[in-house]
Amino acid sequence: LPNYTRVSEFVIVGFPSLQPEYFHLVAWFFFFLYLTTVVGNFLLVVVFALERSLQKPMYIIMVSLALADIGMATVILPKIIARYWWNDGALGFHTCLFQVQMIHYFGALSSLISMFMALDRYLAVCFPLRWQFIEIHIHLLNILPHLCHSNTVNFSIMPFCGSSQIIHAFCDTMSVIPLVCGDPSRQIRDAFTSAMTVLFVPLSFIIFSYICIIITVFYYSPQGRAKTFSTCATQGCIISIYYIPRFIVFSTPYIPNLKMTPDKHIVTTLFYSLLPPLINPFIYCLRTKEIKQILKRWVQRRRDITPTKPAVAVTVTK
């Protein structure tokens, strides 16, 4: 191939229109976002590890999601923080390809875990008498890593030419493909097919399960309607945040009248990649009665063992 170049590293550009005077502000924002995401999800993992009462299928799935969220934030954020804090956007060739694979892996993992959480809720509401005897949860968790290794583009054998600058906050399939020599239409098609499969197969089941839950509760359990609708509404918001922007980003090249500037593309991608990991632990901790009771008990126990200052006797002389 003419102009063949063996790329040794890529450069993360980040937001092309961002002025240098805002670099440190953006770096601090991403730093606090990363810190909050990791601490919140790690707290959920610690609660699960220390409390035997939580060691059951539903919470195993929830902790799996927390670990996936920590992984996604750790893969994405440290490099973009370094880009704006120390102007260090360089990323080795193989490191970039590893980031592509990990972002795909954790994204697919989160999508499939959301499907399994919907499955757990579906079994609990629609088949309450058989729910405790169904061991499908554990078997599904065992095959999660295999399901997440769907077909991804193998960039390591492709030639790169021209610029090595990635107009994005991280390396992903859609940002690396434009740097490949020749016609990348086949690679784009493969990436789109893989992404849509990982997105719409779980999403289709999630929608189906929610419809079944609503029908079951509406006809058979009037007392639980408000609670069930509240739970479904909360999870529905999280799912909408995750799926709708992702669909827009991947569909933009195929919709003629839909155009996105690089800055809007990056913001949208970061929105669906980082917002769910940020809010998931707070939603599940605040809306799960069992976890709230455990946290209250921990706080109360901490207060009980906190030493108080001894009383000081004061002598008053007349």
Paired tokens of 8: 């040794």
What residue ranges define each of the domains in the chain, with the CATH number in brackets? Answer: 23-299 (1.20.1070.10)
What is the distance between the alpha carbons of residues 297 and 154, in angstroms, rounded to a whole number?
Answer: 50
- 1-53 pLDDT per residue, tens: 455 556 778 889 989 999 999 999 999 999 999 999 999 999 888 888 887 77
Nearest to 96 by CA among 14, 171, 150, 23: 171
Please compute the mean of the pLDDT values over residues 200-219 and round it to a whole number: 82
The pairs formed by 80-83 with CB atoms below 8 angstroms and a separation of 24 or more are 80/12, 80/14, 80/30, 80/169, 80/170, 81/27, 81/30, 81/31, 81/34, 83/12, 83/14, 83/27, 83/169
- 58-91 pLDDT per residue, tens: 777 788 889 999 999 999 999 999 999 998 888 8
Task: Report pLDDT for 220.
Answer: 64
Of residues 204 and 120, which shows the higher confidence score?
Answer: 204
Question: Is this model's pTM higher than 0.95 or not?
Answer: no
Paired tokens of 139: 């078997």
Whole-number percent of the chain with pLDDT over 90: 16
- Which strands make up the sheet holding 9-12, listed edge to edge? 90-92, 9-12, 165-166
H and E: helices and strands count for the chain: 9, 3
